[in-house]
Amino acid sequence: MAVVEEGEESGAIQSKEKEFIENVLEFDNITAKDVMVHRTDMVTLPRDAGEEEALEAIRQSGLSRFPVYGEDVDDIVGILSTREYLLNFRESAPKPLSELLRPAYFVPETVAADVLFRDMQGKKTHLALVVDEYGGTSGLVTLEDLLEELVGNIYDEFDPQEEQEIIKLEDGRWRVSGSADLEELAEMMELELPEDEERDYDTLGGLVFSQLSVIPEDGSRPAVDALGLHIQVEELCDRRVEWALVEKLSPEPEKESE
């Protein structure tokens, strides 16, 4: 990393090139759990979904593939291709959704991103379901998610417009999504996070809940001070922090020695 930093400072390496090199070097240090879409953010369909429900999910999400479940999201029975589903309507006798499913590809949370990337390329599969140690669904990873870890965001004309997760306000505060990455927030706010502190959360919402002794009710607006930040929850829904106002805490004045 030091060589890369020196290369950027000397002008031998452009900032975009530096970012790509750093991403490549860090790629084998991250896991499927680090890059997955969490189960609460997955767009899924029930196996018995009717035409109206399936088409609405396709229209609203713009996704090309959907995990399909049986009893619940821990019971994924296959993957539905949007393209195959829509082409199916051209047939004189369209098949039900349940007959169009492809086998799901399951991987553990701990699989390394570089290993998963090569495996998905070899299997020519675009979506992997991530499962925890108990066999429950943790989330999903797409080939595009893994590519973006290397080259940055990839957009096409079918991608839904992503909502900005970290917004700087005119009064110096920040409006931040509960799913925003803490490291990214700290970088944008020019805040150093304690390196020696072990954390079992990665997002702003995770930080908020780590400071509360009880799960707040929907509609409540708790406030917490942590990691040098004052966080005022703006919106809380389904036991998740949707949005919060964040600002740096003023440093405590040093006590004068007697």
Residues 142 and 45 in one domain: yes
Residues 47 and 130 in one domain: yes
Q: Is residue 116 part of a domain?
A: yes
CATH number at residue 226: 3.30.465.10
pLDDT in tens, 61-88: 999 999 999 999 999 999 999 999 999 9
Q: Is residue 133 part of a domain?
A: yes
Q: Which of 27-36, 105-114, 158-167, 171-180 bottoms out in mean pLDDT, i.e. has the lowest? A: 158-167
Q: Give the Cα separation of 120 and 125 in Å (integer).
A: 5
Q: What pLDDT does 152 receive?
A: 60
Q: Is residue 24 part of a domain?
A: no
- At 239, the pLDDT band (50, 70, 90 cuts) reads confident
Tokens of 213: 């002794």
Residues 93 and 53 in one domain: yes
Q: Is residue 18 part of a domain?
A: no
Indicate yes or no: pTM above 0.75.
no
CATH number at residue 119: 3.10.580.10
Which domain-ending residue is among 122, 151, 180?
Answer: 151
Q: Is residue 197 part of a domain?
A: yes
Query: Which residues does 46 contact at the CB level (< 8 Å), separation at least 6?
Result: 53, 68, 69, 70
Residues 87 and 52 in one domain: yes
Q: Is residue 181 part of a domain?
A: yes
Which one is predicted more confidently, 44 or 193? 44
On the question of pLDDT at 120 being above 80, the answer is yes
Residues 170 and 134 in one domain: no
Q: Is residue 46 part of a domain?
A: yes
Residue matched to tokens 């004189």: 92
Which domain-ending residue is among 151, 175, 199?
Answer: 151
Residues 173 and 146 in one domain: no
Confirm if 231 and 246 have CB atoms less than 8 A apart. yes
On the question of pLDDT at 227 being above 70, the answer is yes
| Phi-psi category of residue 204: left, alpha or beta, with phi > 0 → left and psi -120 to 50 → alpha | alpha
Task: Please give the residue range of the domain that contains residue 95.
Answer: 32-151
Q: Is residue 9 part of a domain?
A: no
On the question of pLDDT at 1 being above 50, the answer is no
Mean pLDDT taken over the chain: 83
Q: Report the b/e string of 148-187 with b at 16+ CB within 10 A.
A: ebbeeeeeeeeeeeeeebbeeeeeebbbbbbbbebeebee
Q: Give the Cα separation of 245 and 195 in Å (integer).
A: 24
Which domain-ending residue is among 151, 180, 210?
Answer: 151
Confirm if 125 and 119 have CB atoms less than 8 A apart. no
Average pLDDT in the 130-148 region?
91
Q: What pLDDT does 256 receive?
A: 57
Number of domains in the chain: 2
- At 255, the pLDDT band (50, 70, 90 cuts) reads low
- At 148, the pLDDT band (50, 70, 90 cuts) reads confident
Residues 130 and 79 in one domain: yes
Q: Percent of the chain scored above 90 by pLDDT?
A: 50
On the question of pLDDT at 2 being above 90, the answer is no
Residues 52 and 82 in one domain: yes
Residues 59 and 141 in one domain: yes
Residues 116 and 215 in one domain: no
Residues 179 and 211 in one domain: yes
